[in-house]
Amino acid sequence: MSRPRPRPGSRQTGPSRRWRNVALALGLVAAILVGGIGELVYSAVNEAPAPDSATASPVLSLATASATPTAHTSPTTAPTQSGLASPSAGPSDTSGPTDTSGPTDTSGPSSTPVGTTTPAPQVGGSPSPATITFHEMMLDSAADSAGLARTFSFTSDGPGPVSAQVVAAAPLANLKMCIQVNGGPSSCTTGATPGVFTMAPSGGDQAAWVVTLIATDAGSTPVVDVAFTWQTRAPAITLSHGRFQGSPNPDSLRGFTATFKARTSGSIGVIASWPPVTTDASLTLSDVTSSPGSTVGVQTYPATGSIAQSYSHAVSAGRTYQVLVVNTGADSGRPDLTTTIAFP
């Protein structure tokens, strides 16, 4: 039996088959190359604008500003942004001027110790209330032909309250207190412990005040404490027609005692005269902030008719002082005492 013969074209010989494989391989390579080039072209087209977009992006700009303390954001606006801006706030918090203000506050005049002489407050300062109290002062009776009203004069600065008050009296009797401002009419009040409370005139910078005090009952000579408060830049008060008799009279007739609280550190000043006599006198300054008090200064004046050269001694802010001026000589009748006390 004969074998069937292959049909033409159904089977390729060796050389033709190799050429077909080569052609297929070349086609595959070409396809890969074309696809790769297309991918590269596509990527290039889509990624070309990226650099411009990154430069113009507001998000990237804000992110850069937040991350960089020196970016174009002022320190005042940084805290209003996100927490990323907080590093720029740190240095400003530690470099503020309030960190160095402490020593300035603690070096004020209130730290001046006793014994250090400093100038008294100047008239150009700010007015503030000043208070002084005269203790155990014997009053004359209006029925006494030689009697005189104790007279106090002082000057207030600017508007503000002014008061004069008898805070203690023994024995109780009818007293008359009158107050006058700038030479105008007097306003008077009577009673066992009279007092006046008024306001300084609104017009003008200063006002001159005069306060008088006398007992109205016949033969009554009570001993009183009287306090004064007024608005002033430089406190000073003058007592006129005081008694300055010597021994063996009671202390209430031999001089005066006054207590004040220093508003600032400075110096107390005291001058006095007691015409027409010449006698021995002494001045004692004590710190009575706490009890018992302590003596801080003593001055004697032998055989004289005045403290002509002002007595001066340093005092400290916030402390309470007492000044005592007394006739240490023998009884010399009724000298007419005038004294002025200035304090800070």
Distance CA 73, CA 85 (A): 9
Distance CA 173, CA 166 (A): 12
Q: Does one domain contain both 165 and 207? A: yes
Q: From 210, 239, 268, give the residue that closes a domain.
A: 239
CA atoms within 13 A on the CB side of 299: 19
Q: From 172, 204, 239, give the residue that closes a domain.
A: 239
Q: Does one domain contain both 165 and 184? A: yes
24 domain-assigned: no
Whole-structure pTM value: 0.65
336 domain-assigned: yes
pLDDT digits (tens, 9 = 90+) for 34-45: 444 344 333 333
Rg over alpha carbons for the chain, rounded to the nearest Å, is 50
Distance CA 233, CA 157 (A): 6
Yes or no: say if 208 and 182 are a contact pair by the CB < 8 Å rule.
yes
110 domain-assigned: no
CATH code for the domain in which residue 309 is found: 2.60.120
- Which is nearest to 179 in space by CA: 149, 204, 135? 149
Contacts of 28 (CB under 8 A, 6+ apart): none
Q: Does one domain contain both 207 and 305? A: no
Q: From 175, 207, 239, give the residue that closes a domain.
A: 239
Q: Does one domain contain both 229 and 259? A: no
pLDDT digits (tens, 9 = 90+) for 175-220: 999 999 999 999 999 999 999 999 998 767 899 999 999 999 988 9
CATH code for the domain in which residue 150 is found: 2.60.120.380
pLDDT along the chain (344 residues), means of 10: 44 47 47 42 37 32 31 33 32 35 32 31 71 97 94 96 97 96 96 96 87 94 97 97 95 96 97 97 98 96 96 98 97 94 98
Q: Does one domain contain both 204 and 293? A: no
Q: Which domain holds residue 149?
A: 126-239
Q: What angle do CA 48, 49, 55 make, to 5 degrees?
A: 130
266 domain-assigned: yes
The total of structural domains in the chain comes to: 2
